[in-house]
Structure 1
């Protein structure tokens, strides 16, 4: 270890002694690393921006679980002998399994005529647990029913903004009033400001089971906090189904949008690989520059090498010294390239955002730091090997006599 420290110290002294020479020789690797950092940061930023765009325009964070009613046998659709039903108990069990990654709810929907005062309109009645506000992320005027309301089958309802406007120009006027369907009255406790929901009245799932006849089969829905958590949520859900049902996951259909995320990630990966290969040419040129510096160093220090070998230095000591110097020079070049790359990419991003409406951001990940570190070490070792081998094979007598 002391030998390595000494070699690194000698390398830094050589850089200080010939800074312009070393800078020009390592300019290739500086440019290569700067380009590589820029490509990786732009790629990470593009992937992050793409994910955000997909999250806001699609249901990519959503997953649903539905019991199968048919099987496909020899390309023929036949009814299943056993069709499982999902209820509140199952939803609570699954919710406990998946709560660390996201939210779980149980949904069933049907259409009915609803009455408010003397006015009747056709609406959709949607029964849920208490987690819909986390799914829609929409504002609720008033309040949403809670877990206790679900457990007690409370006759409470939350109206969507579209339904509330059918009965009043000021939707808040409905709070505290009652609407009725199927001969049962429900207190309006909240208005859900979500324009995508349509004309709906949301009620506790247990109240739906108690009051609504001829209801449809419910299904579970899930929303992850992060897109990346969908695969692990799906895997955990499949394992739970295998443990709790005789037919396991084969008796259910699980639907996700993770294919879209995978397509985006694959496209970004291709971009990184192609552009990384192009910038690799600059890194290669930089490695040749480092080899040139070390070959000149070997020539200038031939007598020193001869004296070291004559006083007992082994071949591996000489090789270690020059490879350590090579890696040190390479790391210095990579650090400079890193700084140039970071400043360049964030300047470019600012320019892009100034002249376009696309809110693009660059992103620096630990993976980018790791790649640059690996490049520095590999370039130093690969291109320092030949100068180190040449120095190690000098004979002491000829080296000492060298002028």
Structure 2
């Protein structure tokens, strides 16, 4: 260890005496590492931004279960004559069989037309059949939602969003829509509540799922959303749903598609990993050029210090000592270049991000991770060892007599 420390101290002293020459020789490493740091940091920031957007738009705790009424025959989708789909009673059985804490919701959704009974005026809307409990995002601001009894007894009640309420009552207060009746598929429905619009841009009519006959459910199968209390339970719940469908749906697991939003995160991660590797390989060419610069400066150093090497060998220095000295110098030079490149890369990204924000108006932030810094450390060591080995070996092989005679 003492020999290694002495070697690094000697290397630093030699770099100091040839500082300007050394800095010019490592410009390739500085530029290459700076570009690599900038690219990796920007990609990490992009990946973090993508994860945040996915998390905001979808829940990572959610499991989506869809019926698949179509089959693929010769690359053409053909509707199946018979396939499995959820009814409210089968949905409740499936929900009760889950062993991990989770909330489950069943939806039937279709763009359709309803008729206001009092005026016979037709309105386009999204009709949604829902089960209980309601999703927390459905917040009632007037009236109430239907209850379990009304759901089980198939009572013709409904609640609507504010947008549809305003269309039903015109200039009157929106709460006046409560008590009005609308007609959907020849069913007269009484409005009992109004939910907040939130992000909804279209009118919505929400009714008990049990009001739909089997023919309607088969024509447009409902879908199930299961939201786990904990992200780590998603995999277990997905497996339980698969087993339940296989055991209780006439072994027709193939009639269902079970998806989790983790797939979107994994897809984004794979995409960014591929992008990171490709850009890393491209930028790696600059780092390679920098490594050649390190080899060049060390070969020049060996030539300039031939007599010094010969004197040291004549005084008892071993080949191993000379090898350590020049390898230490190589690693020190590459580390210096990497550190300068690291600083330049960080400064460049800090200057680049405000430009991106001003152009795109996107809340994008650069991300500096330990992986990036670890990569820079590894690069510095690899460059020092790989490109310093030959000059160090050449210096170690010098004959002391011939080296001194070159004076």
Provide TM-score, normalisation by structure 2: 0.70
Q: Distance in 1 between matches of 2:9 and 2:118?
A: 88
User: 1:195 aligns to what SS in structure 2?
Assistant: coil
Q: Match of 1:127?
A: 130
Correspondence 1:77-92 to 2 at 5 A: 78-80=80-82, 85=87, 86-91=90-95
Residues 339/168 of structure 1: CA separation in 2 closer, same or farther (3 Å cut)? farther
Q: Which moved more, 1:21-30 or 1:260-269?
A: 260-269
Q: Cα offset for 1:341?
A: 1.3
Any conservation in 2 of the 1:160–1:199 contact (CA below 8 Å)? yes
Q: Which moved more, 1:35-44 or 1:249-258?
A: 249-258
Any conservation in 1 of the 2:144–2:193 contact (CA below 8 Å)? no
Q: Cα offset for 1:131?
A: 6.3
Q: Match of 1:42?
A: 42
User: 2:196 aligns to what SS in structure 1?
Assistant: strand
What per-residue deviation string (whole Å, max 9, x for no partner) do you get for residues 36-64 of structure 1?
A: 222333344455556777888x8797863
Q: Distance in 2 between matches of 1:382 and 1:151?
A: 76
Correspondence 1:235-314 to 2 at 5 A: 239-244=239-244, 245-246=246-247, 247=251, 249-254=253-258, 272-273=276-277, 275-302=279-306, 305-306=309-310, 309=313, 314=318
Q: Match of 2:162?
A: 161
Any conservation in 2 of the 1:157–1:189 contact (CA below 8 Å)? no
Q: Distance in 2 between matches of 1:80 and 1:291?
A: 72
Q: Match of 1:349?
A: 353
User: 2:12 aligns to what SS in structure 1?
Assistant: helix
What per-residue deviation string (whole Å, max 9, x for no partner) do you get for residues 72-126 of structure 1?
A: 67887653476565513424656937x6xxx853212477968799888666243
Q: Distance in 2 between matches of 1:310 and 1:150?
A: 98
Check if 1:31 corresponds to 2:35: no
What per-residue deviation string (whole Å, max 9, x for no partner) do you get for residues 308-334 of structure 1?
A: 556665534433342233122212211
Q: Cα offset for 1:190?
A: 3.2
Check if 1:190 corresponds to 2:203: no
Correspondence 1:210-229 to 2 at 5 A: 213-214=213-214, 216=217, 217-221=221-225
Residues 248/292 of structure 1: CA separation in 2 closer, same or farther (3 Å cut)? farther
Q: Which moved more, 1:343-352 or 1:295-304?
A: 295-304
Q: Distance in 2 between matches of 1:126 and 1:78?
A: 23
Give the RMSD, CA atoms, in angstroms: 4.9
Q: Match of 1:329?
A: 333
Any conservation in 2 of the 1:47–1:268 contact (CA below 8 Å)? yes
Aligned length: 383
Q: Match of 1:375?
A: 379
Q: Distance in 2 between matches of 1:386 and 1:49?
A: 44
User: 2:200 aligns to what SS in structure 1?
Assistant: coil
Check if 1:142 corresponds to 2:141: yes
Q: Cα offset for 1:387?
A: 1.1
Q: Distance in 1 between matches of 2:256 and 2:336?
A: 57
Any conservation in 2 of the 1:140–1:193 contact (CA below 8 Å)? no
5+ unaligned residues in a row in structure 2: which ranges? none
Q: Distance in 2 between matches of 1:84 and 1:355?
A: 48
Residues 362/224 of structure 1: CA separation in 2 closer, same or farther (3 Å cut)? farther
Q: Distance in 1 between matches of 2:303 and 2:134?
A: 74
Q: Match of 2:20?
A: 20
Q: Distance in 1 between matches of 2:144 and 2:149?
A: 11
Q: Distance in 1 between matches of 2:212 and 2:83?
A: 26
Q: Distance in 2 between matches of 1:141 and 1:304?
A: 87
Residues 112/176 of structure 1: CA separation in 2 closer, same or farther (3 Å cut)? closer
Any conservation in 2 of the 1:119–1:167 contact (CA below 8 Å)? no
5+ unaligned residues in a row in structure 1: which ranges? none
Any conservation in 2 of the 1:130–1:145 contact (CA below 8 Å)? no
Q: Which moved more, 1:314-323 or 1:176-185?
A: 176-185
User: 1:279 aligns to what SS in structure 2?
Assistant: helix
